Amino acid sequence: MSSLHAKQPVRTLVTGASGFTGHYLVDTLRSRGHTVIETIAGRDGPETETRVRLDITSPDNCRRVIASVRPDYIVHLAAISFVGHQDPLDFYRVNVLGTLNLLEACAAVGHTPRKLLIASSANVYGNVTSDAIDESFPLTPVNHYAASKAAMETMVRTWFDRLPILIVRPFNYTGRGQASNFLVPKIVEHFARREPAIELGNIDVARDFSDVRYVVNAYEALLDSDAAADTVNVCTGTPYTLREILAAASDLTGHELEVHVNPAFVRQTDVKMLAGSPARLRTLVPAVESIPFMDTLRWMLAA
């Protein structure tokens, strides 16, 4: 590496930087020497050199930001990700058209980053009964969130010959700071407050839960890898049912929770078993080690 190159700071634009994943990713990238430019929504305080306002549903806004920042890397996390979100059209406006606006902005201002990492979701696989879903499985989404991500992926693949893009499909992941409308934080909060009971949906659904710290380490390593024009699962390959998580949290805290199954929480489209194959990820970034889920649970309970 030339000394000139060494002095050039790597500038990485992160959309959705103020979200759960974004917080961890920004910290990880900064710790690895990136100058991170975070995008913020309308009301999130003033713009600074490393915080720029971006409405990804606005093509003009996207062009302005890409033209002014000209980032070495783009990590696109901004999305509507809560499956129960009220307005179905928002999923498509933000998740599909917002992503298209970013890609078109790069083309419009003549800027080709070293890599764009675009976050999709393992929800695109739909209700597949398998304990090792790999990237070759068909996409059979069963809700608007998943359908919008599948549509986004299909659109993004048409750009593979124009921009160096890697699509990541994270399976479920969790950690400190995740909103309590997600399952594991909800369970953790109930144990931490020593509540007598909890209302859940089907506690026999099984999920491949990763630790958010593992997920962002994988994202950072993938940015640095040669992988492009590809799609990769981010997962551990080890599923846990909510029943197992409840039992483990009970063991760790010495507290018993009475579980009430609320029929309103049982979604007809709920995927029963979702566990991924991390084989491709391990091939691309072999140095990234997953964090055992019981360690994640212990970390969250200790918060």
Catalytic residues: 145
Vertex 288, ends 235 and 149: CA angle to 5°? 35
Q: Which residues contact 110 (CB under 8 A, 6 or more apart)?
A: none
> Mapped to the 3 state alphabet, what secondary structure does the chain carry?
CCHHHHHCCEEEEEECCCCHHHHHHHHHHHHCCEEEEEEECCCCCCCECCEEECCCCCHHHHHHHHHHHCCCEEEECCCCCCCCCCCHHHHHHHHHHHHHHHHHHHHHCCCCCCEEEEECCHHHHCCCCEEEECCCCCCCCCCHHHHHHHHHHHHHHCCCCCCCEEEEEECCEECCCCCCCCHHHHHHHHHHCCCCEEEECCCCCEECCEEHHHHHHHHHHHHHCCCCCEEEEECCCCCEEHHHHHHHHHHHHCCCCEEEECHHHCCCCCCCEEEECCHHHHHHCCCCCCCCHHHHHHHHHCC
Q: Cα-Cα-Cα-Cα dihedral of 248, 252, 256, 261, to 10°?
A: -30
- Please name the residue that has the structure tokens 């000394």: 3
Spatial distance between the Cα atoms of 26 and 22, rounded to a whole number of angstroms: 6
